[in-house]
Amino acid sequence: MTGEVGIDDDFADAGTATFDRERDLSIRNNIRDLIEQMTRAIGRIDEGNYGTCERCGNPIDRKRIDALPHALLCLDCKRREERVR
């Protein structure tokens, strides 16, 4: 499971196994991130500030909240964040 190819391993099989491990790790990380975002959104509901941008404090557009209930940033702040990455 180290990603190394053994003597009897076919390179294509090793490549497939590596791809599968990377895909599984990516899915696991995405799920973990989504759970964290949902937990933060639930916390904001409890605090009474759900639906406001964590960065600028402006309201998050209703359509954005409907599409992404865990959204923590308004669209403008999210776009700025995406440009920095």
pLDDT at 8: 56
**Does the structure show a pLDDT above 60 at 82?**
yes
Encode pLDDT of 7-51 as tens digits: 556 777 777 888 999 999 999 999 999 999 999 999 999 999 999
Burial (CB count within 10 angstroms: exposed 0-12, middle 13-18, buried 19+), residue 17: middle
Residue 72 burial by Cβ neighbours in a 10 Å radius (0-12, 13-18, 19+): middle
Q: Helices H, strands E: what count in the chain?
A: 3, 0
Q: What is the pLDDT of residue 14?
A: 78
Structure tokens at 21: 């491990």
CATH architecture of 11-84: Up-down Bundle (1.20)
Which comes out higher in pLDDT, residue 1 or 12?
12
Residue 3 has a pLDDT of: 55
